[in-house]
Structure 1
């Protein structure tokens, strides 16, 4: 039986070293992309509700889009209550159906909508808000699932939509609203769901890149294995040249 051919020692070591380098680089880059994917998901789902409050102006300006990474962050704002408050329907508290009482708080040249609390039924006396106030609340993004308002003439809205609320005040509104940590007199503290679930597609490109690099590493290892197998195969096992 013909003895298997052996590649030279330097050739053998060089090929093995090259394969290890390629597999190592692919594994490292794949892990890096995987960590980036996880970081995107963690950033989207992180719970900021317990951090120290900061001034709202440190987080966003009145003309800025909503800062998604700061969803649920406690912020502080001072200002004066404006007319134009409204109720938001279909809000639960410990499983009980009810309404949120919302009022615009003017701060500087703009106003921010503030959820002042929860009530089982709309009550004009509870909705009224006047004077100056210092509010600490959790930052939330305006809603917009395009739910139809059955009666646009009343003070009950189906959602907190800036486009709807801006028609009730004479100043611009922030593209955010606050859920007050301290409910107004006669109201209960509104429940807050400030920890968003990351989308299935959050950072998906990084995840795909990670798999791409790992597949490349596996392919490099396969090429080395195939070369090693052919290089050490018996002469008679190789296909004839013609």
Structure 2
């Protein structure tokens, strides 16, 4: 009976050490990529509402698209109130449904919409504002749910959309609006409708790299296991059939016996 084969000790230990190093390295690189994925999502979802305010022009220009990483950032706006205020329905405050009072403000050659506060019912008098003012508020992106306005002729809109508001003023509007941190007289503080959230595919490349490294580590472990199984497998015990014995056996079987 043939004994099981075994690789030399140094070869066996070397293969085991190499497999462990590769598995550990792949695991560590996978964790590194996972941490990078989480860091990307955390950075995109950071809460900017408590930062010191900065000038609006330092964040975006009047022709710029909305800067997604700056959702909720406090900004300073200095300008002059314009006609064309309106209400936005279905806005909640302290669990109650109500309306936002929105007025356009001219800043340089363009205008920006300012949410001055919340009210339980639309009151035309609360939209009456004029003169110049400095506003500190949170930067927000326009709504984009495409809600249908049941009565386009009134002063109540279902959403804050620049395309709707620009028809009420004679200048271009920023692709953003500001929620005033100090509610106007007769109004309550409006609650923010948008805070930064990570996108679905934020950092997805790092997440895929993490899985790729872990699969590589698993493959390295499998290769070592397969090599060692084959190296230590007991060979099959087979009796070879010689060429000389085969004709004699056939002769003994096929030839008739004389009586």
Question: Runs (4+) of structure 1 moved beyond 4 Å?
Answer: none
Tell me if the contact between 1:49 and 1:194 (Cα under 8 Å) persists in the aligned partners: no
Which residue of structure 1 aligns with residue 253 of structure 2?
none
Q: CA deviation at 1:194?
A: 4.1
Counterpart check, 1:50 vs 2:50: yes
Maintained 8 Å contact 1:81/1:129 = yes
Distance 1:184 1:199 in 2: 34
User: Residue 214 of structure 1 aligns to a residue in which SS?
Assistant: helix
Unaligned runs of 5+ in 1: 238-242
Q: Which moved more, 1:50-59 or 1:82-91?
A: 50-59
Q: Secondary structure at the match of 2:151?
A: coil
More divergent stretch after superposition (167-176 vs 87-96): 167-176
Q: CA RMSD in A?
A: 2.0
SS at match of 1:125: helix
Q: Which residue is equivalent to 2:158?
A: 158
Query: How far off its partner does 1:214 sit?
Result: 0.9
Aligned position for 2:250: none
Secondary structure of residue in 2 paired with 1:23: helix
CA distance in 1, matches of 2:56, 2:156: 27
TM-score by length of 2: 0.84
Find the aligned partners of 2:64 and 2:24 in 1 and give their Cα distance. 44
Residue 68 of structure 1: CA displacement?
1.1
Could you tell me whether the CA contact under 8 Å between 1:81 and 1:106 is conserved in 2?
yes
Instruction: Tell me what 1:175 maps to.
Output: 175
Contact 1:47 1:194 survives alignment (8 Å): no
Q: Within 2, Cα distance between the matches of 1:138 and 1:85?
A: 19
Matched, 1:219 2:222: no
Aligned to 2:97: 97
- How is 1:65-104 mapped onto 2 (pairs within 5 angstroms)? 65-104=65-104
Checking the alignment, whether the CA contact within 8 Å between 1:16 and 1:224 is kept in structure 2 is yes
State the Cα distance separating 1:18 from its structure 2 match.
Answer: 3.2
**Contact 2:88-2:160 within 8 A present in 1 as well:** yes
Kindly state the Cα deviation for residue 13 of structure 1 after the two structures are TM-superposed.
4.0
Show the 5 A alignment for 1:1-242.
Answer: 2-236=2-236
Question: For each residue in 1:54-104, what CA deviation from the matched residue of structure 2 results, as whole angstroms up to 9, or x when unmatched?
Answer: 112221121211111111111111111111111101111111111100111
How far residue 196 of structure 1 moved from its aligned partner, in angstroms, is: 4.1
